[in-house]
Structures are given as C-alpha cells and as structure tokens.
Amino acid sequence: MGNQKLYKGSLQTIILKLLSENEKMYGYEITQKVKALTKGELKITEGALYPALHKLEAEGLLDVEVAKVDNRLRKYYKLTESGTKETVNRLAQLDEFIQTMQHLINPKLA
C-alpha cells in the first residue's frame, strides 16, 4: 500500500488500458475495476482519478457520453480514435520502463 506514489506516474496509462478493454466506463467504475484487478493493492482516489480523466479529455484522447441512470445523469468516458492509438504508444512506453527498471534492480532476471 505504501507504493501508491510509484503508480501515480502510470495512472493515465492504466485508465487508457481499461478503456481499451471496456467500451465505456464511469469514474467510480474505474476505481473499482482497478481495485479488483490489483486485489486491493492499488486504490485510485477520487482526487487523483478526475484530474487524470479531465487531462485525457482535454488532450482529445477521451470522449464523453451522458446517460440517465436511476434518477440521475451519469458521465461515461470512452476512447477517441487518437486515444486508441495513444494507448498503444503509452503501453509500449510503460513496458520499456518496466524492462529498464528490471535491468537496474534485478540484472540477473533481466
């Protein structure tokens, strides 16, 4: 749990990856999906999630759709065409980062 700061730099990539696997998702759903996939290891706070979503939207990587759910409106996020392309780039960058870290920390395994 103490390594939340290490995940911080990869938050946008995590969001993009989730959205590439799901057609559209809303904020709370993203936090729960990440929590479930990491078995509670990574908990995205609302204070970190929304600035990341807003940044991705402003960059044109995400599009927004609003639908009525129960007696309120729900904002769904989905990847744009450039968002789909960018996801591939960012995942490749993350993979490269993990490999570099592996070389540094555990050269024998790398």
Q: Rounded to an integer, what distance in angstroms lies between the CA atom of residue 110 and that of residue 106?
A: 6
Q: How far apart are CA 24 and CA 74, in angstroms?
A: 11
By CB under 8 A, is residue 70 in contact with other proteins? yes
Give 6's Cβ-side CA count (13 Å radius). 8
* Smaller CB separation from other proteins, 65 or 96: 65
- CA torsion sign, 11 to 17 to 20 to 24? negative
Using the rule CB under 8 A, is 97 a contact of other proteins?
Answer: no
In the bound state with other proteins, the residue whose beta carbon lies nearer, of 50 and 97, is 50
SS3 assignment, position 78: strand
Contact map string, positions 17 to 46, toward other proteins, x by CB under 8 A: ---------xxx----------------xx
* Residues that bind other proteins in the complex, under the rule CB under 8 A: 26-28, 45-47, 50-51, 54-55, 57-58, 60, 66, 68-75
